């Protein structure tokens, strides 16, 4: 009996050892990123004057993300990521308008955004085999944001609220270069006040629609940082890499990826339209030349009509070097 038990235990251990040799999680350390770049575009309708269309840069922030890559004999079986922290602070800005003879100023002195809870999501291998690039999509329902704003409104400060994106969040993780990119869109309302008195009553007091589009780039590696455009244009002669690869059998949806040796990611365009790195776009070929944006789906996929031969994306780096790729 003892012999049989010994053989059984030995057999189980050998099977476990065999499984461990065939499949395992690649040892990946958490990415702790304290260098965040990017911008937030704020589009706001006002009760008077031109609408606000203001782009502010990300002033500071922190991102922490833990990868979990399961491999077998060098092949990737699955990839998952835990985004445990995301803090952003935006550059302050002010908006001035005259409403019926009333001068109104909305001064946003401090804008802070943070992820309200950790998010786990799968990644899809992208780019060349072994590149360490993964595209991901996070359902909007799972991405809760806490926003804190200090402004000049006659209300208790800071003003805080919880928001969920109006579209699914998507982006790219480059494990080799330790770069994470996020694209987040918020649609909400803000309260616009003007002509207010000490009692708290305002001659103009109404809610207006606002859209915030954030493109965040976190750099945790040792990519070459360009100190200025002038210096970069003299030292950088290497164009960025760019690809536009079909993701479905019909050849109508394409994954767009671009990279450069600078920490600043290249600008990507399709015709006159900017694209986000890692975006999936849908193209409809037409006899009409040029590129036209038709609509954007709920999950952030932009639908374009393109002329024959016009389905070409272009990536341009900070020094002006450019590369193109045909979508196919």
Q: What confidence tens digit (pLDDT) does each residue in 185-202 have?
A: 888 877 777 777 776 677
- Provide the pLDDT for residue 62: 93
From the CB of residue 215, how many other CB atoms can be counted at a distance below 10 Å?
Answer: 21
| Helix, strand, coil percent content, the chain, rounded in steps of 5 | 10, 60, 30
Query: Average pLDDT, stretch 55-83?
Result: 88
- Provide the pLDDT for residue 200: 66
> What is each CA distance from 189 to 110, 151, 308, in whole angstroms?
18, 15, 41
- Provide the pLDDT for residue 298: 66
DSSP state of 141: G
Beta-ladder partners of 5: none
Q: Quick check: helix, strand or coil at residue 92? A: coil
Q: Which residues of 291-311 are buried (b: 16+ CB within 10 A; e: fewer)?
A: bbeeeeeeebbbbbbbeeebb
User: What tens digit of pLDDT does each residue of 129-169 get?
Assistant: 777 888 888 999 999 999 998 988 777 889 899 999 988 88
Q: How confident is the model at residue 261 (pLDDT cuts 50, 70, 90)?
A: low
Average pLDDT, the chain: 79
Does residue 127 surpass a pLDDT of 60? yes
User: What tens digit of pLDDT does each residue of 200-253 get?
Assistant: 677 777 777 888 888 888 887 655 544 444 444 556 788 887 888 787 767 788
What radius of gyration do the chain's Cα atoms show? 24
Q: How far apart are CA 103 and CA 255, in angstroms?
A: 47
Q: How far apart are the first and last CA of the chain?
A: 65
- Provide the pLDDT for residue 143: 95
Is there a cis peptide before residue 115, judged by omega within 30 degrees of 0?
no
Q: How confident is the model at residue 14 (pLDDT cuts 50, 70, 90)?
A: very low
User: What tens digit of pLDDT does each residue of 72-126 get?
Assistant: 877 788 899 999 999 999 888 888 877 777 777 778 888 899 999 999 999 988 7
Does residue 290 surpass a pLDDT of 50? yes
Q: Cβ distance 148 to 112 under 8 Å?
A: yes
Handedness of CA 75, 77, 83, 84 (dihedral sign): negative
């Amino acid at each position: 009996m003892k012999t049989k038990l010994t053989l059984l235990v030995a057999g189980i251990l050998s099977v476990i050892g065999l499984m461990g040799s065939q499949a395992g999680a690649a040892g990946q350390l958490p990415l702790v990123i304290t260098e965040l770049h990017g911008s937030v575009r704020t589009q706001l309708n006002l009760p008077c004057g031109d609408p606000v269309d203001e782009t502010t840069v990300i002033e500071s922030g922190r991102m922490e993300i833990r990868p979990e890559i399961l491999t077998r004999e060098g092949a990737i079986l699955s990839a998952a990521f835990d985004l445990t922290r995301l803090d952003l602070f935006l550059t302050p800005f002010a908006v001035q308008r005259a409403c019926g003879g009333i001068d109104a100023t909305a001064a946003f002195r401090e804008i802070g955004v943070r992820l309200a809870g950790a998010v786990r999501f799968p990644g899809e291998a992208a780019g060349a085999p072994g590149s360490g690039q993964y595209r991901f999509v996070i359902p909007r329902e799972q991405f809760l944001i806490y926003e804190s704003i200090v402004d000049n409104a006659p209300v208790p400060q800071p003003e805080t609220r919880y928001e969920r994106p109006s579209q699914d969040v998507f982006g790219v993780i480059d494990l080799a270069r330790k770069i994470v990119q996020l694209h987040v869109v918020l649609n909400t309302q803000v309260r616009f006040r003007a002509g207010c008195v000490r009692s708290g009553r305002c001659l103009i007091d109404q809610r207006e629609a606002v859209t915030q589009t954030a493109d965040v780039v976190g750099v945790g590696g040792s990519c070459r940082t360009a100190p200025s455009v002038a210096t970069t244009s003299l030292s950088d002669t290497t164009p960025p890499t760019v690809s536009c690869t079909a993701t479905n059998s019909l050849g109508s949806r394409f994954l767009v990826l671009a990279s450069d040796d600078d920490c600043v990611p290249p600008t990507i365009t399709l015709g006159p339209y900017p694209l986000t790195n890692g975006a999936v776009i849908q193209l409809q070929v037409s006899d009409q030349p040029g590129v036209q944006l038709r609509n954007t789906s709920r999950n952030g996929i932009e639908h374009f009509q393109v002329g024959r031969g016009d389905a070409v994306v272009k990536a341009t780096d900070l020094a002006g070097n450019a590369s193109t790729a045909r979508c196919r």
